[in-house]
Amino acid sequence: MPGNRNDCKVWGLSRAKAAVGRTMVIADGGYRGTGLVVPHRRERGQAELPEWKEGRNASHRKVRARVEHVFARMKGWKILRDCRLKGDGVHHAVLGIARFHNLTLAG
């Protein structure tokens, strides 16, 4: 069902789509019809999803949860809250924070 939700429009018009290229991207159900990997949904009149679709949705949730937790943690870092850099400065700041976060997790 492409098209009528704001998330779908923003994805299609954003530079993010071009930036990821052919990389697999997972998203929530708001991005149906964009070519991103989204959770399976029941069809109209369908009581339950088949077991294989439930399994894929469970895997999808686990991956997305880890990514969302990283984003939540990064939002608390002062460098991002106060970042007023121009150009690709924000990009480099986020990469640096992600590296520090990974180092912290690795011990």
pLDDT interval class at 27 (50, 70, 90):
confident
- Residue 43 tokens read as 């069809």
pLDDT for the residue 92: 79
Helix, strand, or coil (residue 26): strand
pLDDT for the residue 36: 86
Q: What's the whole-number mean pLDDT along residues 16-36?
A: 82
Question: What is the tens place of the pLDDT at every residue in 38-82?
Answer: 899 888 888 999 999 999 999 999 999 988 888 888 777 776 666
Give dist(CA 64, CA 24) in Å, integer: 13
Q: Which of the 8 DSSP states describes residue 21?
A: T
On the question of pLDDT at 105 being above 90, the answer is: no
Tell which residue, 7, 41, 49, 46, has the closest CA to residue 25.
Answer: 7
On the question of pLDDT at 2 being above 50, the answer is: no
